[in-house]
């Protein structure tokens, strides 16, 4: 009953969640139940790649929520994604214990190498999974809240706000490259061993992370759709279309923006936390402004103001990236730029808009 209420008039969302459920059940079966020589067998490596794509899809939903429904073109959502990833990476580093290269039971290897004598205060508590999960949500959410409170109260909008979000992610990238900050510097955090006592190298753990990513993606979509279907969501769309008019009729525009922007940052942080144990590393490169711009391209190609369009774009672009960077790495960026130009000119509403048009024609 609750799901049907959230998904009313959302045919694309229903199809997406149905496909996601099927994939979440079928992929583990094809990996665990079939022998490696079976033609339908899916390798653990492929499962990991698919799990990574699902975290990108959740990130795309977060970007679409603020861009498609609120009109904020964020060029800094990579910051929230990376911060969630670092929070999870800190937990995974603390789980290594004396199995590191230097055998220190408390200090991560990079701290021993830099001759640190004790664990910094901000690393305390990350040996507990529950604490790490709280930080995954709290750190990106708090940063987004503080940034949004200052920006929205000052009525910064449009391209100026986009530039500020990009400046934020760039500043964080430069900060995290510094060894003295205590996050591994240029190399970041890596060499993870296990999560919740389960080896990250085992097939079962990889499947578990894939399923967790599927559940998080479904939950993120449903929560975002619940917001867009609510009165708050309708006000957000009105703000996107005419912020001055919404202010004139008495709404506190900055509060609406702040809530949705913060919620979107939390979704991005959760995506980052699920991404890290599957790829096995988190470094300052994740803060790169190029990554945040690429996220916007995912949504533009898939179709903004749909939520599931962002999922389509994230999956399509990243599959293309995986294939082309292996087969023809020198042309990948040209292909990405070409996709964006073609969609902008021929499909201004993205792939989802084309699908909706075809369905309406029938």
Averaged pLDDT score across all residues of the chain: 92
Q: How far apart are CA 296 and CA 314, in angstroms?
A: 10
CB atoms within 10 A of CB 11: 12
Say what the pLDDT of residue 360 is.
Answer: 47
Q: Sorting pLDDT into bands at 50, 70 and 90, what band is 338?
A: confident
Q: How far apart are CA 154 and CA 161, in angstroms?
A: 11
Q: Name the CA dihedral angle for 145, 260, 293, 18, rounded to a multiple of 10 degrees.
A: 140
Say what the pLDDT of residue 8 is.
Answer: 81
CB atoms within 10 A of CB 181: 13
This model's pTM is above 0.75: yes
User: For 169-179, how does the pLDDT look when each residue is reduced to its tens digit (9 = 90+)?
Assistant: 999 999 999 99
Structure tokens that stand for 78 in this block: 């990579």
Say what the pLDDT of residue 178 is.
Answer: 93
DSSP one-letter code for 281: E
User: For 235-268, how does the pLDDT look when each residue is reduced to its tens digit (9 = 90+)?
Assistant: 999 999 999 999 999 999 999 999 999 999 999 9
Q: Name the CA dihedral angle for 280, 63, 320, 277, rounded to a multiple of 10 degrees.
A: 10
Say what the pLDDT of residue 1 is.
Answer: 60
Residue ranges of the alpha helices (H) in 33-128? Answer: 44-67, 77-94, 109-113
Q: How far apart are CA 32 and CA 27, in angstroms?
A: 9
Q: Is 1 exposed, middle or buried (0-12, 13-18, 19+ CB in 10 A)?
A: exposed
């Amino acid at each position: 009953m609750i799901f049907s209420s959230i998904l009313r008039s959302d045919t694309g969302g229903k199809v997406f969640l149905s496909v996601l459920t099927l994939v979440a059940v079928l992929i583990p079966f094809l990996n665990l139940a079939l022998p490696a020589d079976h033609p339908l067998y899916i390798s653990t490596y492929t499962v990991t790649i698919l799990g990574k794509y699902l975290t990108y899809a959740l990130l795309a939903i977060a970007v679409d929520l603020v861009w498609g429904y609120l009109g904020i073109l964020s060029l800094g959502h990579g910051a929230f994604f990376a911060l969630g990833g670092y929070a999870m990476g800190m937990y995974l580093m603390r789980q290594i214990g004396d199995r590191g290269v230097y055998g220190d039971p408390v200090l991560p290897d990079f701290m021993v190498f830099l001759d640190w004598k004790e664990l910094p205060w901000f690393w305390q508590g990350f040996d507990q999974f529950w604490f790490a999960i709280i930080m995954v949500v709290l750190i990106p959410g708090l940063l987004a809240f503080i940034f949004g409170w200052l920006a929205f109260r000052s009525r910064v909008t449009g391209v100026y706000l986009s530039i500020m979000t990009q400046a934020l992610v760039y500043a964080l990238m430069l900060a995290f490259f510094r060894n003295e900050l205590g996050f591994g510097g240029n190399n970041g955090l890596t060499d993870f061993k296990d999560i919740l006592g389960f080896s990250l190298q085992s097939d079962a753990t990889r499947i578990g992370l894939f399923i967790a990513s599927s559940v998080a993606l479904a939950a993120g979509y449903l929560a975002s759709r619940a917001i867009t279907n609510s009165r708050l969501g309708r006000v957000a769309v009105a703000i996107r279309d005419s912020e001055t008019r919404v202010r004139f009729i008495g709404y506190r525009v900055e509060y609406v923006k702040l809530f949705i922007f913060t919620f979107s940052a939390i979704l991005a942080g959760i995506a980052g936390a699920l991404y890290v144990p599957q790829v096995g590393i988190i470094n300052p490169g994740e803060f790169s402004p190029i990554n945040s711009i690429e996220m916007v391209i995912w949504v533009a190609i898939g179709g903004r103001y749909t939520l599931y369009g962002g999922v389509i774009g994230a999956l399509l672009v990243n599959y293309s990236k995986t294939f082309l960077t292996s087969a023809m790495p020198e042309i990948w960026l040209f292909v990405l730029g070409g996709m964006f130009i073609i969609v902008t000119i021929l499909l201004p509403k993205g792939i989802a808009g084309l699908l909706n048009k075809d369905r309406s024609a029938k």
